[in-house]
Amino acid sequence: MPLPLQTRNRHLLWRAGFGPAAGMAQALADSPTHHTLKALEADSRRPFLPLTIPTGTAQPDDPSGTTSPQDRQRRNRERIRQLNIAWIDRMVSGEQMLREKMALFWHGHFAARHNNPDFVEGLLNAIREHALGDFGTLLRKVCQSPAMLAFLNNQQNRKQRPNENFARELMELFTLGRGHYTEADVRDAARAFTGWQFDAQGSFRFRAEAHDDGPKTVLGVTGRLTGDDVIGILLDRRETADAITRKIWRHFVDEQVDEAAVQRLSRRFFASRYDIAGLMHDIFASEAFHEPRHIGRQIKSPVELIVGIRRMLPMRIAQPEVQILLQRILGQVLFYPPNVAGWPGGRHWIDGASLMYRLQIPQMVAQRDWPAPRAKDDDDQDMGTSRRPGRGSRITLDTRIDWEPVYQSLTDVKRERLPEAVAALLWQTTTPPDVSGLDARPDTSSREALIRSALIRLMGSPEYQLC
């Protein structure tokens, strides 16, 4: 029996975006899924808009040169913090949502940390601009970004003193995957990338005097290879298409890989010269994507959870930096991946403490008062939140929720069916949701109170953690 349109559309919006927005109940139930996908794709083909650190958040450098290193570090953290919030706001807005969802995926794939906000902004915008373009262009832009060159030590990769870190991660994590290259390939690829550096203004520079122009052999190709040559060699290998397609399948479809499906998709991806938008269309338009076994099987990442709640509950947040504290507590701070491999995802998102706070977030938003835990210290991730409360203290989250779009979307639902209708909007299930086992009783003092209490209660459930 075919799944209801609401189930299919909800599944698509969570995997290709950040979930439905308030007021979308009728559209979820009525719109053919291919129309929903077409709208997502068309929206993300609109002209690219770079994200910049909001005006007025950063002070100019002190022309006297007396600014202390501590002050500069504090200013840099503040600017990165503002960029974090600006990107979250863009995800919530729904503008070019498929582009932003793909950019979040690539942000984990091309993981890098740097304390220079201009470098961080540059890498983010390179990823966002090419998130749905061709993978070869995206790869080259990332590899030439000062954030990645610095993070993987290629600024120190010079003739006579090659540094293998950049070449190794390029092969292992960004393209081929383990087992498809040798140590000799890494050594010669590192020599090919000598001279790939950046200048004081953060622009990519090829410094010929630092480049090893001798003969090299990488994956069976011999010559006076350059970094561009090595990237071309990697893109010419089917293993790269296989590795990227498999990782995308695990992220957007199911952690259990359907190898036959991945191979079919990979062949088309490789033949298209790595058209990312085409690969994602092939996935999202397929009936395999909508199979019940793939629905409600993934744990939302912390960013997906926060953005999804804000999309369903339109709100004004007087202290938006609290969202960074939430990211830290739940284990995913934008621009601060744990290592070059990015966030492991899946079941790693959940432990006893993080699940407890995940379930409390909707109540925190509704009640505007929350007992904040003490997150693990990280000098980089503090990003201006070093004055966070200690364990047992409270912070006030000043939010103003606009409930009207939610009320309007449920106008035609009979009062006694409201909890089930809200669950059908929020939970990723393939069968009608059963809300009879929920602990707390809803507020029945009015229709609006019933909707509010049911929505907050259902968002604070284990079922809402899945997409």
**pLDDT grade for 58, boundaries at 50, 70 and 90:** very low
* pLDDT at residue 377, as a whole number: 57
Strand partners, 198: 204
pLDDT above 90 (res 314): yes
Residue identified by tokens 């079941």 is 347
Q: What is the pLDDT of residues 179-224, one digit of tens each?
A: 999 999 999 999 999 999 999 999 999 999 999 999 999 999 999 9
Q: How far is residue 450 from each of residues 29, 419, 454, measured CA to CA in Å?
A: 22, 8, 6
Q: What is the pLDDT of residues 65-78, one digit of tens each?
A: 567 899 999 999 99
Reference 153, options 169, 142, 141, 139; nearest CA is 169
> Is residue 325 left, alpha or beta, with left meaning phi > 0 and alpha meaning psi from -120 to 50?
alpha
pLDDT above 60 (res 383): no
**pLDDT grade for 391, boundaries at 50, 70 and 90:** very low
Query: pLDDT averaged over the chain?
Result: 92
Whole-angstrom distance, CA of residue 288 vs CA of residue 321: 40
* pLDDT at residue 441, as a whole number: 74
* pLDDT at residue 440, as a whole number: 65
For the chain, what's the residue count?
Answer: 467
**pLDDT grade for 420, boundaries at 50, 70 and 90:** very high
pLDDT above 90 (res 135): yes
pLDDT: which is higher, 128 or 392:
128
Q: What is the pLDDT of residues 399-415, one digit of tens each?
A: 999 999 999 999 999 99
pLDDT above 50 (res 384): no
pLDDT above 90 (res 434): no
Strand partners, 360: none
Strand partners, 317: 399
Query: Parallel, antiparallel, or unpaired for β 394-395 and 221-223?
Result: unpaired
Whole-angstrom distance, CA of residue 251 vs CA of residue 295: 13
Whole-angstrom distance, CA of residue 85 vs CA of residue 255: 29
Range of weakest confidence among 29-43, 100-114, 304-318, 441-455: 441-455
In this structure, which amino acid lies at residue 332? Q
Q: What is the pLDDT of residues 231-247, one digit of tens each?
A: 999 999 999 999 999 99
Give yes or no for a contact between 463 and 427, defined as CB atoms under 8 angstroms apart: yes
Reference 114, options 151, 144, 142, 83; nearest CA is 151
Contacts of 442 (CB under 8 A, 6+ apart): 419, 450, 453, 454, 457
Task: Please compute the mean of the pLDDT values over residues 379-408 and round it to a whole number.
Answer: 64
**pLDDT grade for 57, boundaries at 50, 70 and 90:** very low
Share of the chain above pLDDT 70, in %: 90
